[in-house]
C-alpha cells in the first residue's frame, strides 16, 4: 500500500524512525551486492488530490518505482492515480520528475510513467512466464522498497502461492513490508530478475500480493506505443464524469423518513463517482457512503442533483444511502447510481 504523508517529505529520521527503516532488512548472504539490488529503483514522492464526496483536498504520499529503461518507470496505478507531481530519487540522490503517464492498468495495479530526462541506470530484466506458474512457490525473493517513506530498504521472503487466470496471475509472498513499498519490484534471488510488482496485502490471509512480471511486460508494450498525457491534464474534475464507468443505477421513491440504498463491491482501492438525481430539483435529501454495513465514511445533506467523487482506500462492500428527511414532501422520487472512474481512458 502507498503511505499518505500529507506533504511531509524527506523529514529527518530519529532513533524510532531509523528502527522502522531497518524493519525487514536482510543480511543478504550469498546475494548480489547492495548496489546491484538498488540501481534500478527509485523512492517516489507524489503530490496530488484526494476526493471525499463534496470535498477535494491536497495530499502527499510515497511509493516506489523501478526503471524499465532509461526513460520509463513502473510503479503502482494507485501510486500514480491523482498525482499532479511525481518525483523519484535514486540511491545516489539523483532526482527525476515523472510528469507524463503512458499506461495505467487498474486490474493489475500497474502504471508506466515517462521521466523528464534520461536516467543513467539500466532497466530491470523480467522472468518469463513458467509453463506452470505455481512452480514459483517457495522461491526466495528480494524487495527494494521505500517503506515508511524513509528511502530504499531491503525486504526478503518467499513466494507462498500463485493465483489467478492465465496471464493475469497474482503472486502471493510473505516479505515484511510497510506503507511506501507500493510499486516495489520483487526479484527472484536466484535469477536476479523481476518476478512481479508489489501492490497490496491481505490481513485476513496474512499475505502480500504482487502482479506477475509477464503482465507488467504486456503493459510496458502498450506504453511504448502511447504518446502519454501529462498528469495535470489527466487527473482533472471534468474527466471524472467523462471517464466514469457506471455500474448501474436504481430508481427510488421515498416518503419522509424513508431511505433507499444501493450496494456495490469495490474490486480494489479505487476512485468512484456516485450520483443522486431527484426529479424535483428543489428536493432536499440526505445521503451517505457506508463501508461494510456500519462504518459511515461520509454524509451530507443537499438540494437537487449531486455528483460525488470518492477515493476509496480499500476493496470490499460499500453502500450508498439516500434518506428523505422528516417534514419534506409526501414523495421524493429520483435515481441513484455509482461507478468506477477509468482514468486510463484519457491516455493515448
Residue 17 has pLDDT above 90, yes or no: no
State the Cα–Cα distance between residues 199 and 188, nearest whole angstrom. Answer: 17
Residue 127's pLDDT is what?
97
Q: How confident is the model at residue 37 (pLDDT cuts 50, 70, 90)?
A: confident
Residues 13 and 113 in one domain: yes
Residues 11 and 147 in one domain: yes
Residues 40 and 136 in one domain: yes
Quote the Cα angle for 235-271-64, to 5°.
Answer: 70
Torsion of CA 226, 213, 204, 46, to 10 degrees: -40
Residue 179's pLDDT is what?
86
Count of domains observed in the chain: 2
- Average of per-residue pLDDT values in the chain: 90
Question: What CATH number should be reported for the domain holding residue 326?
Answer: 2.60.120.380
| pLDDT tens per residue across span 151-201 | 999 999 999 999 999 999 999 999 988 889 999 999 999 999 999 999 998
Residue 121's pLDDT is what?
86
| pLDDT tens per residue across span 240-259 | 999 999 999 999 999 999 99
For residue 40, give the nearest of 119, 121, 100, 109 by alpha carbon: 121
Of 194, 213, 234, at which residue does a domain stop? 234
Residue 7 has pLDDT above 70, yes or no: no
Residue 267's pLDDT is what?
86
Residue 28's pLDDT is what?
36
- The region of weakest confidence among 59-63, 210-214, 292-296, 329-333 is 292-296
Residues 159 and 11 in one domain: yes
For residue 214, give the nearest of 168, 148, 272 by alpha carbon: 168
Q: Greatest CA span in the chain, whole angstroms?
A: 76
Residue 22's pLDDT is what?
34
Residues 307 and 192 in one domain: no
Residue 11's pLDDT is what?
30
| pLDDT tens per residue across span 105-150 | 999 999 999 999 998 889 999 999 999 999 999 999 999 999 889 9
Of 206, 234, 262, at which residue does a domain stop? 234
| pLDDT tens per residue across span 262-283 | 999 998 899 999 999 999 999 9
Residue 35's pLDDT is what?
44
Q: How confident is the model at residue 1 (pLDDT cuts 50, 70, 90)?
A: low
| pLDDT tens per residue across span 38-90 | 899 999 999 999 999 999 999 999 999 999 999 999 999 999 999 999 999 99
Residues 163 and 57 in one domain: yes
Residue 83's pLDDT is what?
98
Q: What is the pTM of this model?
A: 0.87
Residues 113 and 9 in one domain: yes
Residues 265 and 146 in one domain: no
Residues 215 and 285 in one domain: no
| pLDDT tens per residue across span 115-126 | 999 988 899 999
Of 202, 234, 266, at which residue does a domain stop? 234
Residue 31 has pLDDT above 80, yes or no: no
Question: What CATH number should be reported for the domain holding residue 34?
Answer: 2.40.10.120
Residue 2 has pLDDT above 80, yes or no: no
- The region of weakest confidence among 86-90, 217-221, 310-314, 322-326 is 310-314
Residues 81 and 143 in one domain: yes
For residue 297, give the nearest of 279, 312, 315 by alpha carbon: 312
Residues 91 and 225 in one domain: yes
Give residue 127's domain range. 3-234
Residues 183 and 144 in one domain: yes
Amino acid at each position: 500500500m502507498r503511505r499518505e504523508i500529507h506533504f511531509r517529505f524527506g523529514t529527518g529520521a530519529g532513533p524510532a524512525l531509523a528502527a522502522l527503516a531497518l524493519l525487514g532488512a536482510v543480511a543478504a548472504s550469498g546475494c548480489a551486492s547492495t548496489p546491484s539490488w538498488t540501481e534500478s529503483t527509485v523512492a517516489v514522492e507524489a503530490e496530488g488530490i484526494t476526493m471525499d464526496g463534496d470535498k477535494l483536498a491536497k495530499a502527499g504520499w510515497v511509493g516506489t518505482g523501478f526503471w524499465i529503461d532509461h526513460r520509463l518507470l513502473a510503479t503502482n496505478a494507485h501510486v500514480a492515480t491523482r498525482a499532479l507531481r511525481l518525483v523519484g530519487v535514486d540511491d545516489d540522490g539523483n532526482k527525476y520528475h515523472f510528469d507524463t503517464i503512458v499506461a495505467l492498468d487498474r486490474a493489475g495495479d500497474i502504471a508506466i510513467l515517462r521521466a523528464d530526462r534520461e536516467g543513467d541506470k539500466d532497466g530491470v530484466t523480467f522472468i518469463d512466464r513458467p509453463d506452470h506458474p505455481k512452480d514459483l512457490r517457495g522461491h526466495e525473493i528480494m524487495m527494494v522498497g521505500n517503506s515508511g517513506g524513509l528511502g530504499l530498504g531491503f525486504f526478503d521472503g518467499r513466494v507462498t502461492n500463485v493465483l489467478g487466470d492465465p496471464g493475469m496471475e497474482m503472486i502471493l509472498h510473505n516479505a515484511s513490508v510497510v506503507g511506501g513499498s507500493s510499486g516495489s519490484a520483487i526479484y527472484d534471488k536466484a535469477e536476479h530478475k523481476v518476478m512481479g510488482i508489489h501492490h497490496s496485502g491481505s490481513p485476513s490471509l496474512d499475505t502480500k500480493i504482487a502482479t506477475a512480471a509477464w503482465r507488467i511486460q504486456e503493459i510496458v508494450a502498450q506504453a511504448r506505443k502511447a504518446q502519454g498525457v501529462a498528469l495535470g491534464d489527466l487527473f482533472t474534475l471534468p474527466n471524472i464524469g467523462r471517464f466514469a464507468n457506471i455500474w448501474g443505477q436504481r430508481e427510488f421513491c421515498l416518503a419522509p423518513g424513508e431511505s433507499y440504498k444501493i450496494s456495490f463491491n469495490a474490486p480494489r482501492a479505487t476512485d468512484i463517482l456516485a450520483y443522486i438525481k431527484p426529479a424535483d430539483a428543489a428536493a432536499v435529501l440526505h445521503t451517505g457512503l457506508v463501508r461494510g454495513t456500519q462504518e459511515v465514511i461520509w454524509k451530507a445533506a443537499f438540494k437537487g442533483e449531486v455528483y460525488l467523487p470518492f477515493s476509496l482506500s480499500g476493496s470490499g462492500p460499500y453502500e450508498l444511502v439516500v434518506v428523505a428527511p422528516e417534514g419534506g414532501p409526501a414523495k421524493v422520487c429520483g435515481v441513484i447510481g455509482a461507478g468506477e472512474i477509468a482514468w486510463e481512458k484519457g491516455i493515448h
